Structure 1
Amino acid sequence: MLLMPRDRFGFNLFDDMFNDPFFKKAESPALMKTDIQEKDGKYILDMDLPGFGKENIKADLENGYLTITASRDESKEEKDEKGNLVHQERYTGQCSRSFYVGDNVKEEDIKAGYKDGILHLEFPKNETKQVEQKKYIAIE
């Protein structure tokens, strides 16, 4: 294998190679963007979940953590007039986020709805215990 220093003789082999469209990464929007508001003694959480069906979204509460999980399985195929497969794509994926809501929040305290790709959750604001800050040890 020939090893060439970067920018030898005015060109860079690897820059040219990775500029090829084959290597370009597809841009995808961030999933599960979340807005959290405090209003009238409660928290209001709105999470963007476009393309997910209501039946594929799960919210659970355990040890003071509210976890939202969304999954999707899709299969798309195109056939020509003779019924021969011309194009087929599959997508399987899952995403998840957790929020500490406090040990005093119960499942029945949380109201949830899903409309137009936005998951809307409301739950009471409770006094939460202070999460201990990370402490560093000095090395001498």
Structure 2
Amino acid sequence: MFDLMPFGRRENNLFNYFDNMEKNFFGDISQGLSSFRTDVIDNGDKYLLKAELPGFKKEDIKIDIEGDRLTVSAEHKDETEEKNDNYIRRERRYGSFSRSFDISNIKCNEISAEYKDGILELSMPKLESVVPESRRIEIQ
């Protein structure tokens, strides 16, 4: 019934063998995600970065700037004891997620962040672009 088996118990059959062989070769895609989805919107004078981080507490999210690189990272911590025998199925994962962005044309000191309903929003004001002065050089 919907693959409800005690956690850690596996049936030895040909289908599971091929499924496990594929996961071992390519990696389990559902477990291997170490990033999150983001949208970057150009609002003229600033960029708005929206990152999906559902299920995280505000305290679990870190935003670091190092040089011209902004890194957003979040970590789920497993606070429960390891009692795998009671699970029928366990799909929730604990781990860390991280994503870096180039902010070379951003005013780093004016970046602001807000986290609400699982969405992290970063408002990143652009540096004023300096247009080089044009001039004509006379040939002598």
- TM-score of the superposed pair, with normalisation by structure 1: 0.60
Answer yes or no: is 1:117 the counterpart of 2:84. Answer: no
- Equivalent position of 2:103 in the other structure: 101
What is the deviation of 1:16?
7.4
Structure 2 residue identity aligned to 1:87: N
Identity between Structure 1 and Structure 2 (%): 37
- C-alpha distance in 2 between matches for 1:111 and 1:59: 10
* Coordinate RMSD, CA, aligned: 3.7
Q: What stretches of structure 1 move > 3 A for 4+ residues in a row?
A: 23-31, 88-92
Secondary structure of 1:17 counterpart: helix
Once the two structures are superposed, the pairs formed by residues 1-140 of structure 1 within 5 Å of their partners are 17-19=17-19, 25=28, 27=30, 31-76=35-80, 87=86, 91-102=93-104, 105-107=107-109, 109-126=110-127
Structure 2 stretches lacking a partner, 5+ long: 1-13, 130-140
The structure with the largest strand share of the pair is: 1
TM-superposition CA deviations, 1:3-62 (whole Å, max 9, x none): xxxxxxxxxxx7773147xx6957469541000010131000000001111100000111
SS of 2:56's equivalent? coil
Q: Distance in 2 between matches of 1:104 and 1:46?
A: 16
Partner Cα distance (2:43, 2:16) in 1: 53
Which residue of 2 is the match for residue 10 of structure 1?
none
Aligned counterparts of 2:16 and 2:32: Cα–Cα separation in 1: 27
Is the alpha carbon distance of 1:29 and 1:38 closer, same or farther for their aligned partners in structure 2, counting shifts above 3 Å?
farther
Q: Figure out how many residues of one structure are paired with residues of the other and give that number.
A: 109
Per chain length, whose mean CA-contact separation is higher, i.e. which structure has more relative contact order (CA < 8 Å, sep 6+)? 2
SS of 2:86's partner is: strand
CA distance 1:87–1:38, change in 2 (3 Å)? same
Listed as ranges, the gaps of 5+ residues in structure 1 are 1-13, 80-84, 129-140
Kindly state the Cα deviation for residue 91 of structure 1 after the two structures are TM-superposed.
4.8
SS at match of 1:92: coil
